[in-house]
Amino acid sequence: MVYCLMMVIMVGFYVLLVFTAAYCLLMLHFAWGLYSLRSAGKAAEAGKSMGFSEKPVRVSVIIPVRNEVHTIDSLLEQMVAQDYPPEAVEFLVSDDFSEDATCERVMQWVQRSSEKGIRLVRPCDAREEMPGKKAAIARAVAEATGDLLLFTDADTHRGPHWITTMAGAWKESKGEMVLGPVMFSGEKNLLQKIQTLEFLGIMGVTAGAVASGKPVMCNGANLACTRRAFVATGGYYGNEQFRSGDDQFLMLKVKNKYSARAIHFCYDPYALVSTEPVRTLAAFAHQRLRWISKGKGYRDPFTLFTALETYLTQLLLLTFLIAGLWVHGLLPWCGALWLIKILVDYLLVARMAGFCKKTGLEHHYFLAQLFQLFYVPLSGLLVWLLPFKWKGRTGRQ
């Protein structure tokens, strides 16, 4: 019996070794792509050239909102302060059945800033129109007049060169989609600092994967797509049942129809969009369950491989680190594998921390990795069992 148990542990350890090695090679591949990117303000310069030296592309900024009365004023202030030619941009604020005064605030902006191109898109009939972020975006796209759609969220912040830079990146790339950088900011407590570090790694993978020709994720808080690509791919058709994933599913459709070469990353600090990490552990759990839930709809082979490789590596590491507390000699080997993984991940985190000017959180890095080691395997199990809450709605897709 003891012999059989030791054989199982030995075989399991070799499986862990293979998965950890594959994970590290995958992250090193993304890191190679990330470090190959160069930021010299080229996208911003291209946007300025397009805006002032030739006829600028018309941009439709799509902003889905639900119960955003506390953030909508700040957002629209940033929008009207953009340096992109005002005659070539429109701001479509699309309501997702808000239950507060969000729409009233937007209408006040429309009335006093009619020349700024702000428009409110509302569902016509609550009994017929589908609720949800995807539906709100689709309604706005149907009314958009721009050739380039620029998506963002209502709880975000950016500088005045954002539209110019993202439009310039699209012009330079000559592709169908541009992914923009997103970061967490305004962190106050330890949980928020941990989230910021983790999100730097996520954004590092996002940028590095695109640069290496294998895009696997994106963020709807900063995403540009041509209207022709949105229409040609069918938008969100076929993925409506998922609460999350408006960004991811659209990117994968563009990748499938036009190839990965049609997708580019705007590695320019002028394009940065920031948002605040959630403040409580309960909100964090609901957010991560919502994010993970969209994975059930993935069909892209490489995206599925990356997601499963990442999850199973974390699960195996946690399992064998715990087993090492009882099995003599196992813990140092598993600890060494985890340390190697941590060091490889740091290549991505450090690069994006420099890009986003978020240095100073490094002393929380080990704690962030420890937190991630436990929550990732747990979330992957709970997403099949527990519902999540978001914007006053409950889902368990």
DSSP notation for 46-70: HHHHHHHSSPPPPEEEEEEESS-TT
Q: Are residues 308 and 257 in the same domain?
A: no
Average pLDDT, the chain: 90
Which pLDDT band, with edges at 50, 70 and 90, does 46 fall under?
A: low
**Residue 49: what pLDDT?**
55
Neighbours of 260 (CB within 10 A): 18
Which structural domain, as residue segments, surrounds residue 19?
A: 2-35+301-395
Task: Indicate if 114 and 173 belong to the same structural domain.
Answer: yes
Same domain, 13 and 123: no
Looking at the chain, the whole-number percentage of residues with pLDDT higher than 70 is: 92
Note the pTM of the prediction, 2 decimals.
0.92
pLDDT value of position 7 = 74
Q: Beta strand pairing status for 148-151 and 156-158?
A: unpaired
Do 13 and 70 lie in one domain? The reply is no
For residue 79, is it within any domain? Answer: yes
Q: What CATH number is given to the structural domain containing 80? A: 3.90.550.10
- pLDDT tens digits, 325-340: 888 889 999 999 999 9
Asked if the model's pLDDT at residue 352 lies above 70, the reply is: yes
228 and 305 housed in the same domain: no
Look at residue 191 and tell me if it is in a domain.
no
Domain assignment present for 319: yes
**What integer pLDDT is reported at residue 282 of this predicted model?**
93
- pLDDT tens-digit series, residues 250-272: 999 999 999 999 999 999 999 99
Give residue 175's pLDDT. Answer: 94
CA distance 199 to 275: 11
Residue type, 346: Y
Do the domain assignments include residue 95? yes
- Residue 16 pLDDT grade (very low, low, confident, very high; cuts 50, 70, 90): very high
How confident is residue 43, by pLDDT bands cut at 50, 70 and 90?
low
Number of domains in the chain: 2
Share of the chain above pLDDT 90, in %: 72
What is the pLDDT, as a whole number, of residue 41? 54
Residues 171 and 311 in one domain: no
Question: Is there a single domain that holds both residue 53 and residue 132?
Answer: yes
Give the contacts of 98 (CB within 8 A, at least 6 positions apart): 65, 66, 67, 68, 69
Q: Are 223 and 357 in a shared domain? A: no
Give the pLDDT confidence score for residue 55 in this predicted structure: 80
- 209 found inside a domain: no
Q: Which of 29-33, 36-40, 54-58, 128-132 has the highest mean pLDDT?
A: 29-33
Residues 109 and 244 in one domain: yes
> Whose CA is closest to 166, among 268, 91, 83, 251?
268
Same domain? For 45 and 17 the reply is no
- Does residue 103 form part of some domain? yes
pLDDT surpassing 70 at residue 50: no
Which range has the worst mean pLDDT, 99-103, 188-192, 242-246? Answer: 242-246
Do 74 and 147 belong together in one domain? yes
Question: 59 and 174 share a domain?
Answer: yes
Alpha helices in the chain (DSSP H): 2-36, 42-52, 72-80, 102-112, 133-143, 162-173, 190-211, 227-232, 246-258, 281-293, 301-323, 330-356, 365-382
Is residue 92 situated within a structural domain?
yes
In a domain, 340, yes or no: yes
pLDDT at 245: 77
DSSP letter, residue 271:
G
Two tokens at 243? 């609460």
pLDDT value at position 112? 84
What's the pLDDT score for residue 53? Answer: 55
- Say if residue 102's pLDDT is above 80: yes
> Sheet harboring 156-158: ordered strands across?
156-158, 273-275, 182-184
